[in-house]
Amino acid sequence: MSDHAASSASEDSAKRSRRGQSVVEFALVLPMLLVLLLGIADFGRVFSGGITVEAMARNAAEAAAQEYLQLRRAAAPNEPNATDFEAVRARAQEVACEEADTLPNRTQFGGVCSMPVIATCVHDEWGDHCGSPSGTVLGNCSAMVAWPPTMVNQAGGLPYVKVNVCYRFTTLMNVSDLRLPLGWSLSIGDIWLQRERVFTVADY
């Protein structure tokens, strides 16, 4: 009887020890699992945001090229004036800002998006006509740090419109130097999505 009681007590102690070990292991693994799950979710969000920014730059460049074409026809045979080029830039910003409507960090004031930052440049036979970016250019917007760029005729002599877009994407877990088990650390912060698109103005 006493041997049975001692054996039972020993088995109970072993079960409690295993449960305690499982709890400790789970506590060690849980932070990494959470980071992994949030990372997967953020990857999907970044991928979706990248598609939106891509469409934003492409559609803005196309709309600006169409606007420039109409103004160029109206001004022919003379060069479009500064007001015309400002209208082209305004059209590009309007279209890009509309495309950015689904992005969480979109900031608009007075009909102009300050986030994402949008810049438009027209290149034709009279030269480069580049406007200022629509928002504050931060160091992270490398595509616009040196705006207006030195443009190269990429359209075989045809005029073209170039649109640069820079968007700040905020991750779900915005942390700096997060300490993980086993001496690991992780920093997750803003991701800057940038796209540049050129649209040729072909007047057939």
Number of structural domains the chain divides into: 1
pLDDT tens digits along 111-123: 778 889 999 999 9
Q: What is the mean pLDDT of residues 36-61?
A: 88
Whether residue 47 is predicted with pLDDT greater than 70 in this model: the reply is: yes
Give the mean pLDDT of the chain: 81
Contact 138, 144 (CB under 8 A): no
Mean pLDDT of 37-61: 88
Looking at residue 135, what is its pLDDT? Answer: 79
Q: Does pLDDT of 108 surpass 80?
A: yes
Strands in the chain per DSSP E: 107-109, 112-115, 117-124, 127-130, 160-169, 175-179, 185-188, 191-200
Residue 143's pLDDT band (cuts 50, 70, 90): confident
- Helices 82-99 and 2-75: angle between axes, nearest 10 degrees: 160
Question: Which of 21-25, 64-68, 128-132, 148-152 is predicted least confidently?
Answer: 148-152
Domain residues for the domain of 60 are 2-200
pLDDT at 3: 55
Q: How many CB atoms lie within 10 A of CB 4?
A: 8
pLDDT at 61: 95
**pLDDT value at position 187?**
61
Q: Which of 70, 89, 195 is nearest to 144 (CA)?
A: 195
